[in-house]
């Protein structure tokens, strides 16, 4: 679709001269913004919380503006320092030390953020889990990471496996729980007893801080390992891309179980010391507009799937709210439809800025900057300090307009440093010094990048990454299912939905009741967002002679596309 270019945003941008910054910027040049520039030792929690709490002008500023259907709370930077100090002391009491993995499995809450920074303060590695995960998803991640401790709520405890987790020593429960088991620790009791001050564990820039599990097309979810050094890029992009200024009220709608919810729901805003809105509860157009209006949100980072639902809710809905404080909107996670950008210009009188990056990249890489024109449908240009290109399968760079693999020159600050327990997998992402993203794209003659799709079978449903292998594995655990192949099927609002093809074991008949039961089985075993919306029973599932499910072929059949090369298809 050919759409008109949208000129650069008016106003005072933090990054004014993109071309010059690309030529002159070096990551070294921003190191003096951090305390470790002088001491050599670092801790993200200090830079994002304590540094502001130490500043008399900032300490009483609201850091966290939390709201959920049944709770509303404000924490200043001073509160956040104290609460995270206390939690660090609780962790130390139970022997948690540098490098240990401590996981969080709970809905968004003030306690989540206090615990998260407490973990980082003792030098441990935080592993946030999406609250909708069911037992299998929780088990896979706790097993692989060998987490020593888990923080959760009595409600979610039901989905924490009771066996098979030999490394897991303690479970900290936020909220009342009747059973008294040695393994359980009561959050409230411990926090009341804990001292307000703590010694921060000063670590090296390359020491671990965060593990985010994410899905690929094969195997179980992998633990993407991030280090403290990532803050350079969280800080720089908070400046250039989020365009954060001192008095901003910022809202990132992502859950901290996903990378957007940590890099841009925690690190970038708090490194800049702005007030951060966190909203719990489910999405509804009215609730979201209400949140924007009520807190006078100025900078808003959200996702295409939500924006598309807002478009569907229509003009009448947005017009009910006073959104006059809003000055900057950004989007991530899926392609941003040009129609949504056009609608944003009308509904908010603002541009919506698409940003492209991944769990593995740790921070934004290709973005629409306030100071550049937007070409609707394009992800924008690489930020200063980043080299991006399009390569073929051999690692050769391709000229403009040729589609290929989107690749980034290795060595940016927020890049993953390994895949937990699987360094070989990590190394497989690189060719000739390029990180190969698995996304296909092309660039135009002016250096704008245009997303085309995934090159592997990873599914992106409502902006959440789902690995087909995980869903297939769960499906075949059901007694009726013999084989399963899972694909992403295009969907106007959700980007893609999950469609599963299955064959049945002897003695089972296809019926709507059975299909419902199988869908429910995945939903309750793995997670709601990974459950197939469509399920089709077939006589066979196409496989290669070596036994690999040919998801491409399933997809071509489903979409009525040419099937391409099927020479490896098993008889």
Q: Measured from the CB of residue 356, what is the shortest distance to ligand WTA in angstroms?
A: 4
The region of 63-71, 79-87, 331-339, 385-393 touching ligand WTA under the rule CB under 6 A is: 331-339
The region of 53-61, 150-158, 237-245, 330-338 touching ligand WTA under the rule CB under 6 A is: 330-338
Integer-rounded Cα radius of gyration of the chain: 24
> How far, in Å, CA of 543 to CA of 340, rounded?
39
Burial 490-527 (b: 16+ CB within 10 A, else e): ebeebbbbbbbbbbbeeebeeeeebbeebbebbbebbb
Give whichever of 48 and 332 is closer to ligand WTA, judged by the CB atom. 332
Q: Measured from the CB of residue 507, what is the shortest distance to ligand WTA in angstroms?
A: 40
| Candidate residues 53, 63, 252, 379; the one interacting with ligand WTA per rule CB under 6 A | 379
| Candidate residues 22, 454, 529, 538; the one interacting with ligand WTA per rule CB under 6 A | 454
Handedness of CA 473, 479, 483, 484 (dihedral sign): negative
Q: Determine contact, residues 266/278, Cβ cutoff 8 Å.
A: no
Give whichever of 100 and 439 is closer to ligand WTA, judged by the CB atom. 439
Q: Measured from the CB of residue 399, what is the shortest distance to ligand WTA in angstroms?
A: 22
Does residue 334 interact with ligand WTA by CB under 6 A?
yes
Q: Which two tokens stand for residue 506?
A: 């002897």
Find all residues with CB under 8 Å of 74, minimum gap 6, and list them.
62, 64, 65, 66
DSSP string for 528-567: GGGS-SEEEE-S---BBTTS-B-HHHHHHHHHT------T
Sequence-ordered alpha helix ranges (H) in 388-427: 423-427
Q: Return the beta strands (E) in 218-322 as ranges.
A: 222-227, 249-252, 275-279, 299-302
Give whichever of 197 and 444 is closer to ligand WTA, judged by the CB atom. 444
Q: Measured from the CB of residue 49, what is the shortest distance to ligand WTA in angstroms?
A: 23
Taking the CA of residue 68 as centre, how many other CA atoms within 13 Å lie in the half-sphere pointing to its CB?
Answer: 9
In this chain, which residue has its C-beta nearest to ligand WTA? 359
Contacts of ligand WTA in 339-378 (CB under 6 A): 354-359
| Candidate residues 76, 85, 89, 260; the one interacting with ligand WTA per rule CB under 6 A | 260
Binding mask 90-129 for ligand WTA (x = CB under 6 A): ----------------------------------------
Q: Which two tokens stand for residue 45?
A: 């929690």
Q: Measured from the CB of residue 333, what is the shortest distance to ligand WTA in angstroms?
A: 5
> How far, in Å, CA of 526 to CA of 498, rounded?
14
Q: Measured from the CB of residue 395, what is the shortest distance to ligand WTA in angstroms?
A: 19
Q: Measured from the CB of residue 389, what is the shortest distance to ligand WTA in angstroms?
A: 16
Q: Measured from the CB of residue 438, what is the shortest distance to ligand WTA in angstroms?
A: 6
Q: Measured from the CB of residue 222, what is the shortest distance to ligand WTA in angstroms?
A: 11
Does residue 457 interact with ligand WTA by CB under 6 A?
no
Which among 144, 176, 143, 180 is positioned nearest to 160, based on CA atoms?
143
Give whichever of 258 and 412 is closer to ligand WTA, judged by the CB atom. 258
Torsion angle defined by CA atoms of residues 536, 537, 538 and 543, in that order, rounded to the nearest 10 degrees: 70
Q: Are strands 434-443 and 404-409 parallel, antiparallel or unpaired?
A: antiparallel
Q: Measured from the CB of residue 360, what is the shortest distance to ligand WTA in angstroms?
A: 7
Contacts of ligand WTA in 170-229 (CB under 6 A): 214
The region of 101-109, 175-183, 327-335, 370-378 touching ligand WTA under the rule CB under 6 A is: 327-335
Give whichever of 204 and 339 is closer to ligand WTA, judged by the CB atom. 339
| Candidate residues 65, 332, 436, 502; the one interacting with ligand WTA per rule CB under 6 A | 332
Q: 10 Å Cβ neighbour count for 74?
A: 13
Does residue 439 interact with ligand WTA by CB under 6 A?
yes
Phi, psi torsion values for 374, nearest 5 degrees: -100, 135
Q: Measured from the CB of residue 262, what is the shortest distance to ligand WTA in angstroms?
A: 10
Does residue 496 interact with ligand WTA by CB under 6 A?
no
DSSP 169: -
Q: Measured from the CB of residue 508, what is the shortest distance to ligand WTA in angstroms?
A: 35
Does residue 259 interact with ligand WTA by CB under 6 A?
yes
Which among 458, 461, 480 is positioned nearest to 469, based on CA atoms?
458
The region of 42-50, 116-124, 326-334, 512-520 touching ligand WTA under the rule CB under 6 A is: 326-334
| Candidate residues 107, 223, 335, 362; the one interacting with ligand WTA per rule CB under 6 A | 335
Sequence-ordered alpha helix ranges (H) in 47-194: 51-53, 77-93, 110-121, 135-145, 154-157, 187-193
Find all residues with CB under 8 Å of 391, minimum gap 6, and list them.
397, 398, 404, 405, 407, 431, 434, 436
The region of 130-138, 252-260, 391-399, 484-492 touching ligand WTA under the rule CB under 6 A is: 252-260
Give whichever of 76 and 378 is closer to ligand WTA, judged by the CB atom. 378
Give whichever of 66 and 357 is closer to ligand WTA, judged by the CB atom. 357
| H, E, C per residue of 102-122 | EEEECCCCHHHHHHHHHHHHC
Q: Measured from the CB of residue 461, what is the shortest distance to ligand WTA in angstroms?
A: 11
> How far, in Å, CA of 442 to CA of 400, rounded?
7
Give the residues lining the site for ligand WTA (CB under 6 A): 214, 258-260, 332-335, 354-359, 379, 437, 439, 451, 454, 460, 465
């Amino acid at each position: 679709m050919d759409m008109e270019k949208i000129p650069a945003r008016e106003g005072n941008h933090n990054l004014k001269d993109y071309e010059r910054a690309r030529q002159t910027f070096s990551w070294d040049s921003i190191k003096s913004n951090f305390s470790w520039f002088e001491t050599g030792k670092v801790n993200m929690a200090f830079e994002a919380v304590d540094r502001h709490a130490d500043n008399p002008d900032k300490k009483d500023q609201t850091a966290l503006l939390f709201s959920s259907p049944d709770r509303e709370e404000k924490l200043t930077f001073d509160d956040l320092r104290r609460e995270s100090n206390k939690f660090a002391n609780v962790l130390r009491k139970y022997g948690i030390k540098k490098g240990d993995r401590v996981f969080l499995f709970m809905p968004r809450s003030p306690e989540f953020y206090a615990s998260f920074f407490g973990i980082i303060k003792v030098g441990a590695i935080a592993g946030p889990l999406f609250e909708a995960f069911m037992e299998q998803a929780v088990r896979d991640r706790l097993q692989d990471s060998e987490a020593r401790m888990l923080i959760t709520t009595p409600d979610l405890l039901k989905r924490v496996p009771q066996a098979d987790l030999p490394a897991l020593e303690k479970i900290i429960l936020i909220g009342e729980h009747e059973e008294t088991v040695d393994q359980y620790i009561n959050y409230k009791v411990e926090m009341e007893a804990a001292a307000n001050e703590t010694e921060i564990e000063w670590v090296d820039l390359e020491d671990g801080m965060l593990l985010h599990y994410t899905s690929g097309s094969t195997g179980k979810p992998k633990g993407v390992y991030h280090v403290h050094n990532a803050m350079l890029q969280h800080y720089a992009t908070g400046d250039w891309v989020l365009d954060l200024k001192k008095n901003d009220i910022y809202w990132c709608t992502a859950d901290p179980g996903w990378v957007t919810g940590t890099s841009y729901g925690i690190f970038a805003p708090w490194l800049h010391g702005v007030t951060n809105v966190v909203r719990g509860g489910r999405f509804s157009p009215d609730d979201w507009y209400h949140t924007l209006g009520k807190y006078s949100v100025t900078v808003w980072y959200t996702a295409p799937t939500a924006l598309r639902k807002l478009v569907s809710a229509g003009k009448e809905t947005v017009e009910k709210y006073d959104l006059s404080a809003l000055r900057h909107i950004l989007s991530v996670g899926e392609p941003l439809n040009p129609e949504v950008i056009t609608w944003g210009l009308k509904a908010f009188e603002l541009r919506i800025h698409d940003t492209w990056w991944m769990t593995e990249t740790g921070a934004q890489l290709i973005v629409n900057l306030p100071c550049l024109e937007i070409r609707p449908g394009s992800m924008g240009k690489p930020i200063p300090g980043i080299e991006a290109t399009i390569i073929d399968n051999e690692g050769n760079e391709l000229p403009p307009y040729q589609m290929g693999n989107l690749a980034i020159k290795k060595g940016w600050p927020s890049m993953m440093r390994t895949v937990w327990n699987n360094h070989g997998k990590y190394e497989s992402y690189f060719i000739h010094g390029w990180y190969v993203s698995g996304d296909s794209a092309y660039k135009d003659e002016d250096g704008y990048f245009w997303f085309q799709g995934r090159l592997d079978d990873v599914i992106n449903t409502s902006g959440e990454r789902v690995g087909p292998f995980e869903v297939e594995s769960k499906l075949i655990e059901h007694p009726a299912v013999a084989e399963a192949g899972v694909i992403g099927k295009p969907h106007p609002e959700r980007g893609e939905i999950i469609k599963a093809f299955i064959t049945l074991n002897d003695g089972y008949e296809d019926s709507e009741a059975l299909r419902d039961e199988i869908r429910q089985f995945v939903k309750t075993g793995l997670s709601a967002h990974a459950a197939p919306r469509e399920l089709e029973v077939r006589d066979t599932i196409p496989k290669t002679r070596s036994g690999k499910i040919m998801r491409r072929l399933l997809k071509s059949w489903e979409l009525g596309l040419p099937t391409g090369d099927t020479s490896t298809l098993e008889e």
